[in-house]
Amino acid sequence: DAGVIQSPRHEVTEMGQEVTLRCKPISGHDYLFWYRQTMMRGLELLIYFNNNVPIDDSGMPEDRFSAKMPNASFSTLKIQPSEPRDSAVYFCASSLLSQPQHFGDGTRLSIL
Amino acid sequence: GDSVTQMEGPVTLSEEAFLTINCTYTATGYPSLFWYVQYPGEGLQLLLKATKADDKGSNKGFEATYRKETTSFHLEKGSVQVSDSAVYFCALQTDTGRRALTFGSGTRLQVQP
């Protein structure tokens, strides 16, 4: 079975550019999570959805970040404008209600 | 708020040595507890879990017991292999209905032949 699929795997862009990260959850999963991993702050939740509806976005750093889930099989995390401090590995995960979360391989983002 | 504390790494062991990675947590109620493993360049993989006090999670020779009285979930393995080299994360999920995981800082394990 296909796991959580994220794209791109690596992204290098200049400060001020728009960045879009993509995630395809495991088919049938009703929860989708976006996490960010940095050396300084470790793994932290940005936002999560249930049945395509955002439930908790308390971890979204500021207005430059936005996330959408237009349907059950696709989500995006957008940063506009990007800043060097946004450099991190961004993980998407999905799950069924009472089951553990399955993680994608992440997108390594570098903002120059 | 909820939090997870893990021992600092890296932990360096010789092959076949005994492994313990300490994890303690702070949370109200009865959270579920998890260990995830991250190999270089990959995402996190669930290693084991426990959902109530005194439960023991186990997988691939790793074990951890949910200790409510000490709020701990220490990871153990009797004989590590070079292939166990990775970063290990302890995490909790509260019983309040919030589905997000709260992670510890991770512990890097290096196993030498």
Contact (CB<8Å) B106/A42: yes
pLDDT at residue B41, rounded to an integer: 85
Each residue's pLDDT tens digit, B12-41: 999 999 999 999 999 988 999 999 999 988
Closest residue, chain B, to A95 (C-alpha): B99
pLDDT digits (tens, 9 = 90+) for A9-65: 999 999 999 999 999 999 999 999 999 999 899 999 999 999 999 999 999 988 899
The per-residue pLDDT for B58 is 97
* Number of Cβ pairs < 8 A linking chain A and chain B: 47
pLDDT for the residue A43: 93
**Cα B92 from Cα B47, distance rounded (Å):** 13
Beta bridge partners of B108: B87
In this prediction, residue A76 carries a pLDDT of: 98
Q: Which residues of chain A does B90 touch, with a Cβ-Cβ cutoff of 8 Å?
A: none
A97 versus B18: which is more confidently predicted?
A: B18
Closest alpha carbon within chain B to A98: B99
Contacts of B36 in chain A (CB under 8 A): 103
- Decide if pLDDT at B97 tops 90: no
Task: Tell me what the mean pLDDT of segment A79-95 comes to.
Answer: 96
From A103's Cα to the closest Cα of chain B, the distance in A is 6
Q: Which of residues 10-69 of B touch A (CB under 8 A)?
A: 34, 36, 41-46, 49
Give A99 or A108, the one with higher predicted confidence: A108
pLDDT band at A104 (very low <50, low <70, confident <90, very high): very high
Residue A59, both tokens: 């971890």
Are B46 and A42 a contacting pair at CB < 8 A?
no
Residue A69 has pLDDT above 70, yes or no: yes
The one-letter amino acid code at A20 reads T
B101 shares contact with chain A (CB less than 8 Å): yes
Q: Which residues of B touch A106 (CB under 8 A)?
A: 42-43
pLDDT computed for residue A78 by the predictor: 97
- Is B8's pLDDT higher than 90? no
Enclosing H/E stretch for A71:
strand A65-71
Instruction: Convert the pLDDT of each residue in B40-87 to its tens digit.
Output: 888 999 999 999 999 999 999 999 999 999 999 999 999 999 999 999
For residue A98, pLDDT beyond 80: no
- List of E strands, chain B: 3-6, 11-14, 19-21, 23-26, 32-38, 44-50, 56-59, 62-65, 75-77, 86-93, 102-103, 107-112
**Residue A1 above 70 pLDDT?**
no
